[in-house]
Amino acid sequence: MRIMLANFTAMVNDAGGLSKVTCSFANAMSKRGHDVTVVYSDDKKGDFFFPIDKTVKCYNLRHYEGNDFKYPVTYKIVRELVRPLSKTYAKSVNNYFVSEHLLGNLQRILKNNMPDVIVSFQPAASKNFILDLKSDIPVITMSHGDPEDYFHNYPKKEQEAVKCSAACQVLMPHFVNAIKSRYPSTMVEVIGNVVPQYERQANLLRNKDEYKIIFIGQLVKTIKRPHLLIKAFVNLADKYPQWKLEIWGAENRKSYKAYLQKLIDNAHLNNRIFIKGITHDVESVLYNGDIIVLPSSGEGFGLAAAEGMSMGLPAVGYKRCTGLAGLIEDGKTGYLCDDGEKPLEEKLECLMSDRNLRYTMGSAAREAMKQYSSEYIWTKWEELIRKVVKKK
């Protein structure tokens, strides 16, 4: 079968979760014998951060067959100026750029590859295929967060594309209703993200000279919020001198990274709290950890937390974050706390003070993550793709 993956975001040297899912999806389907194409949209040229199988054909919409389109600075200025006033209009600026400049490239790529099905990573990409190009190729629209957001912050045309999709995928069962309540006839399937099933498990019962709290995620103030974790740890540092905190992830804004470093400097904890940057060896980072924490305000599927849990680490997150609340079973595989610095501090201390509790919760977390094995998830995707193509 010919499968096209359409992720109209940056992919070149991008270490984000969306890039990781794109490469994993492409590699898995290719290994299962399918002809896979990836279409993306990036100002830069170069290699992906995550490995991609040589059999996968990759096309950059902004650099294709000698046609180069840079995202205009004027568009960026307009988009950022209107974003605080209207997220919907800010997204419309991006849509306008694709519609006005990139549809020709997209049409040629589509014609040259003739996919049987398109898996779209954004409603905006679905709009381009379904409404702009009026393609009759079935489109499966993926959701990487709570699809309720579609109906508050996405342009009407993107919502229409969701409705007209051959199927929509959501990450967790409680996300289904957002789409079905509005579009009862649209097919919706629940398929989670793949979580690595590590052969080894972190040994949380052994005596160590130091213990580690791990954060993995892009350093984004309004979403990932590692500053809350740093503040909570600072309040506990004197009481638990054997504990350290490692912050792993790509820098988003220099000013925010500087703010994080200032928090560390002011607390005189440069020898206990470390901003580590990007890692290509997440497994080793987790194996040497004791607790995984994601203080995010929002996640579609808290993959970093899930990977930590798969390693046997108890996880801590906020109740308000639906993408973590669906992964962490409060009091069994970790803790879900109320928002804010103090509630996070309290749940951290519960785990930092009790080694047996860490082990018990970590072992339960590892067991819970088995439902997201690659074999199971990719088989679910393959079944959905076949169902959609057969239906057409």
DSSP assignment string, 299-333: -SS-HHHHHHHHTT--EEEETT-HHHHTT--BTTT
Confidence band, pLDDT 50/70/90 cuts, at residue 70: confident
pLDDT for res 99: 80
Which one-letter amino acid corresponds to residue 39? V
Which one-letter amino acid corresponds to residue 376? Y
- Closest by alpha carbon to 374, among 323, 306, 297? 306
Contact 123, 161 (CB under 8 A): yes
Lowest-confidence pick of 40-49, 94-103, 381-390: 94-103
Alpha-carbon gap, residue 371 to 355, rounded angstroms: 26
Cα four-point dihedral sign 296, 300, 301, 303: negative
Provide CATH 3.40.50.2000 ranges for the chain. Answer: 2-194+373-391, 211-371
Cα four-point dihedral sign 366, 370, 373, 375: positive
Cα→Cα distances 381→52, 189, 198, 367, Å: 19, 9, 22, 22
Cα→Cα distances 301→17, 123, 265, 378, Å: 10, 18, 32, 16
Q: Is pTM, for the whole model, over 0.85?
A: no
Chosen CATH of 211-371 out of 3.30.230.10, 3.30.70.890, 3.40.50.2000, 3.30.300.30: 3.40.50.2000
Average pLDDT over residues 241-245: 97
Taking the CA atoms of residue 191, residue 195, residue 199 and residue 204 in that order, the dihedral angle to the nearest 10 degrees is: -120
Reading the block at residue 359, the tokens are 């082990």
User: What is the per-residue pLDDT across 35-63, written as a single tens digit (0 to 9) for each?
Assistant: 999 999 999 999 999 999 999 999 999 99
Cα→Cα distances 174→131, 132, 148, 304, 371, Å: 28, 31, 11, 20, 17
Confidence band, pLDDT 50/70/90 cuts, at residue 145: confident
DSSP assignment string, 202-222: --TTS--S-EEEEEES-B-TT
User: What is the per-residue pLDDT across 147-194, written as a single tens digit (0 to 9) for each?
Assistant: 998 998 899 999 999 999 999 999 989 899 999 999 999 999 999 999
Contact 2, 116 (CB under 8 A): yes
Alpha-carbon gap, residue 384 to 392, rounded angstroms: 13
User: What is the per-residue pLDDT across 298-357, written as a single tens digit (0 to 9) for each?
Assistant: 888 888 999 999 999 999 999 999 889 989 999 999 999 999 999 999 999 999 999 999
pLDDT for res 88: 76
Confidence band, pLDDT 50/70/90 cuts, at residue 76: confident
Q: Which fold has domain 2-194+373-391?
A: Rossmann fold (3.40.50)
Confidence band, pLDDT 50/70/90 cuts, at residue 28: very high
Question: Is pLDDT above 90 for 280?
Answer: no
Residues 6+ apart with CB under 8 A from 267: 234, 237, 273
pLDDT for res 89: 65
For the chain, percent of residues with pLDDT exceeding 70? 99
Mean pLDDT of the residues in the chain: 93
pLDDT for res 174: 87
